[in-house]
């Protein structure tokens, strides 16, 4: 967690004291959210999907939680698509392939994706335990063999997949981490960040937004 502090025309990223422990951060800010107002969080009203883009601007389209239900979705005009997780129900390879096919038919110049808690197969440690236990809550997942999901991220050929990593597109440096309360992130973004994607809630709220921008 971080926020931008303008300094001589540049942006400096100050790292939150709880960044190294996401679970502690969620607990702290969830308890204090009634009196905690993050100064860097600004609510934005959605615009109609067909609103023309102003000249000289880059438009980001931010979505999440499509859960394999992308048929018939009318997507807004834009340059860069950000999907912040839960694009499947269980992370089955067939679901990932369907999502990837959908991405391939979208006109955005860049498509950036992170996993959510529904992408079970993207968490190798969780899957290792699940396969051993044949956990009854996810019978279709527990029946998968390790080779079925060993490199499931590679199925996302029509997007840039971020997992505790970053990418720079059209001059915007974007970091993505799929952690949520109970799991940790392997890395933290360094200075100069313009956008951060995550599937967990924003500091100070029990719900998302899941995309945070520095000015």
**106-151 per-position pLDDT tens digit:** 999 999 999 998 998 998 888 877 766 655 667 788 778 888 888 9
Residues 66 and 182: their CA atoms lie apart, in Å, by 22
* Helix segments in 37-123, DSSP class H: 93-104
pLDDT, position 204: 44
Q: Are 202 and 208 in contact (CB under 8 A)?
A: yes
**34-60 per-position pLDDT tens digit:** 555 555 566 667 778 788 888 999 999
């Amino acid at each position: 967690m971080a926020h931008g502090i303008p300094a001589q025309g540049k942006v400096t990223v100050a790292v939150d004291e709880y960044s190294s422990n996401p679970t502690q951060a969620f607990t702290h800010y969830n308890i204090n959210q009634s009196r905690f107002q993050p100064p860097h969080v600004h609510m934005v009203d959605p615009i109609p999907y067909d609103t023309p883009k102003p000249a000289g601007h880059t438009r980001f389209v931010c979505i999440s939680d499509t859960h394999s239900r992308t048929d018939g979705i009318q997507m807004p005009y834009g340059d860069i698509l950000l999907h912040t997780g839960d694009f499947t129900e269980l992370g089955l390879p067939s679901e990932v392939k369907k999502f990837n096919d959908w991405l391939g038919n979208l006109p955005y110049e860049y498509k950036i994706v992170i996993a959510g808690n529904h992408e079970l197969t993207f968490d190798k440690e969780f899957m290792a335990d699940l396969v051993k236990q044949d956990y009854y809550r996810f019978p279709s997942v527990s029946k998968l063999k390790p080779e079925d999901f060993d490199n499931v991220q590679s199925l996302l050929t029509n997007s840039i997949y971020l997992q505790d990593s970053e990418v720079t597109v059209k001059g915007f440096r974007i970091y993505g981490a799929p952690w949520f309360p109970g799991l940790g992130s392997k890395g933290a973004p360094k200075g100069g960040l313009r956008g951060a994607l995550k599937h967990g809630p924003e500091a100070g709220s029990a719900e998302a937004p899941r995309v945070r921008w520095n000015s």
